[in-house]
């Protein structure tokens, strides 16, 4: 079924009786060409592009719970391509370009809104760093505008420009950045994949990999054994747990990232705003709530809830940059588990086991990467070669000295 304004009109006139479930609930077949482990945003996007762009006919997505129940449903919905390093930035710019065409591509309203993202500058060294970053963005074809204090005042008059400790001196603005309706991304990809014959199998937990003589030939699941020519793991947040079943240790630690939303307010924020002196970012959802977040809780955890010290830190950041946020009441807060990698950058690669592939390590930047991650993973799975924008995301890069460390923090995952 193709969605359109005409379809909505016709259904409205005929009692809305024509709407059908948008994906099937098939039982697993005994074997597939490609099995994707994990029905989150990246896994569903991978399945969609495998079917649509690479002509793969026999693909299944196995999901432990229900699709979209992980971080695609728990993030702060921001899209942007304002990275610096050449291993990262072309990939994220590809992703942003894909976001721009996504809704037409999969015929689903994902509410992609390019309302811009503004990174504030508070001192001279930070301006130098952001000038450099902006130039890096231009080199990849992305957009970046350096604003002075006057420019920020025109755009966001409500910020605390007179903060004695963290005065606002300017900002780096990416007009093409913005926000997306996150759940709709999972649903849109699931619908598009299902339409093209992908089996999306929910409540099907992978409990082991069939590995013989260094070759992966299938998976054991809570719904029986399933054979596959290729098994593609895509379970960021649980990567270490799942890959341990294949005997692998990963350059990843798991931490929780908390996010917050206030009561609904009238439109007050023009776009996404990030504080440059602490870690705080905020946008306003179309329902009116201020959606914001900050640092991860620094300890290893698999519990989808955080602790109060980080809540306090995030709220202090908000009050320092935007004091009016203190008048809003907090409605909800939640946490999602992040694959924190050793350099803050992700992995899209083969493993040393033939037929077993890995996608993960997205730290807390996975949502914006969803379309390109799916496309590049599908490219790798179908052609056995990495996509040209994802050649740096190798699992063995720490062994060979090719880390992609945007912040230069070194192998300390909770600082990325």
Partner 1 sequence: MIINHPLLGPRDAAEFVVKGDANLINRPDWQADDAAQQFYEYAYLRDNPAGEHRELWYHEQGDRSWLVVTRNTLTHEVTKVELARDVARAAGRSA
Footprint of partner 1 (CB under 8 A): 240-241, 244, 249-254, 298-303, 307, 309, 342, 398-399, 411-414
As measured in angstroms, the least distance from the Cβ of 261 to partner 1 is: 23
Alpha carbon 173 to chain centroid, angstroms = 20
List C-alpha distances in Å: 240 to 273, 361, 373. 33, 10, 19
Choice between 68 and 335, CB closer to partner 1:
335
Paired residues of 37 in beta bridges = 62, 233
Choice between 194 and 253, CB closer to partner 1:
253
As measured in angstroms, the least distance from the Cβ of 376 to partner 1 is: 23
Choice between 69 and 307, CB closer to partner 1:
307
As measured in angstroms, the least distance from the Cβ of 212 to partner 1 is: 24
Q: Among residues 337, 351, 387, which one has the least CA distance to residue 40?
A: 337
Choice between 79 and 252, CB closer to partner 1:
252
Task: Decide if 26 contacts 199 (C-beta within 8 A).
Answer: yes
Choice between 34 and 252, CB closer to partner 1:
252
Cα radius of gyration (the chain): 22
How far is 11 from 20, CA to CA, in rounded Å?
12
As measured in angstroms, the least distance from the Cβ of 251 to partner 1 is: 4
As measured in angstroms, the least distance from the Cβ of 238 to partner 1 is: 8
Choice between 81 and 239, CB closer to partner 1:
239
As measured in angstroms, the least distance from the Cβ of 226 to partner 1 is: 24
As measured in angstroms, the least distance from the Cβ of 389 to partner 1 is: 24
Choice between 252 and 328, CB closer to partner 1:
252
As measured in angstroms, the least distance from the Cβ of 139 to partner 1 is: 29
Count other C-beta atoms under 10 Å from residue 384's C-beta. Answer: 10
How far is 124 from 82, CA to CA, in rounded Å?
19
How far is 173 from 180, CA to CA, in rounded Å?
18
Task: Decide if 292 contacts 318 (C-beta within 8 A).
Answer: yes
Give the HSE-up count for residue 390: Cα atoms under 13 Å, Cβ half-sphere.
27
* Token pair for 263: 């009561």
Helix (H/G/I), strand (E/B), else coil: 396: coil
Paired residues of 200 in beta bridges = 61
Instruction: Classify residue 146 by its DSSP letter.
Output: E
Choice between 103 and 253, CB closer to partner 1:
253
As measured in angstroms, the least distance from the Cβ of 165 to partner 1 is: 20
How far is 215 from 107, CA to CA, in rounded Å?
38
What would the DSSP string read from start to end of 301-327? --SS---HHHHHHHHHHHHHH-GGGGG
Paired residues of 79 in beta bridges = 178
Task: Decide if 196 contacts 134 (C-beta within 8 A).
Answer: no
Choice between 317 and 371, CB closer to partner 1:
317
């Amino acid at each position: 079924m193709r969605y359109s304004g005409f379809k909505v009109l016709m259904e409205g006139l005929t009692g809305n009786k024509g709407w059908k479930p948008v994906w099937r609930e098939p039982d697993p077949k005994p074997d597939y060409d490609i099995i994707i482990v994990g029905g989150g945003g990246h896994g569903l996007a991978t399945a969609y592009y495998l079917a649509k762009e690479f002509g793969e006919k026999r693909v299944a997505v196995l999901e432990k719970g229900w699709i979209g129940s992980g971080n695609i449903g728990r993030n702060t919905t921001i899209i942007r391509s304002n990275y610096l390093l050449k291993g990262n930035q072309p990939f994220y710019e590809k992703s942003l370009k894909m976001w721009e065409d996504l809704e037409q591509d999969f015929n689903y309203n994902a509410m992609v809104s390019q309302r811009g993202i503004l990174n504030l500058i508070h001192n001279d060294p930070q301006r130098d760093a952001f000038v450099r970053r902006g130039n890096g963005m231009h080199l990849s074809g992305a957009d970046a505008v350096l604003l002075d204090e006057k420019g920020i005042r025109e755009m966001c008059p409500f910020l605390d420009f007179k903060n004695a400790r963290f005065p606002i001196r300017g900002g780096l603005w990416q007009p093409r950045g913005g926000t997306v309706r996150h759940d709709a991304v999972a649903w849109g990809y699931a619908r598009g994949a299902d339409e093209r014959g992908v089996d999306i199998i929910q409540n099907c937990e992978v409990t082991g990999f069939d590995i013989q003589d260094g070759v992966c030939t299938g998976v054991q699941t809570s719904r029986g054994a399933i054979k596959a020519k290729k098994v593609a793991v895509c379970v960021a947040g649980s990567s270490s747990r799942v890959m341990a079943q294949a005997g692998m240790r990963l350059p990843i630690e798991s931490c929780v990232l908390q996010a917050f939303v206030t009561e609904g307010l009238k439109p007050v924020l023009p776009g996404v705003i990030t504080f440059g002196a602490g870690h705080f970012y905020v946008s306003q959802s179309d329902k009116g709530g201020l959606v914001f977040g900050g640092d991860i809780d620094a300890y290893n955890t698999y519990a989808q809830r955080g602790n109060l010290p980080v809540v306090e830190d995030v709220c202090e950041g908000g009050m320092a940059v935007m004091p009016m946020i203190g008048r809003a009441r907090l409605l909800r807060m939640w946490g999602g588990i992040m694959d924190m990698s050793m350099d803050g950058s992700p992995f899209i690669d083969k493993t040393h086991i033939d037929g077993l592939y890995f996608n993960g390590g997205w730290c807390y930047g996975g949502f914006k990467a969803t379309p390109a991650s799916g496309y590049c993973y599908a490219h790798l799975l179908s052609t056995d070669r990495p996509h040209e924008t994802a050649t740096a995301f190798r699992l063995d890069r720490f062994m060979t000295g090719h880390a992609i460390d945007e912040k230069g923090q070194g192998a300390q995952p909770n600082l990325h």
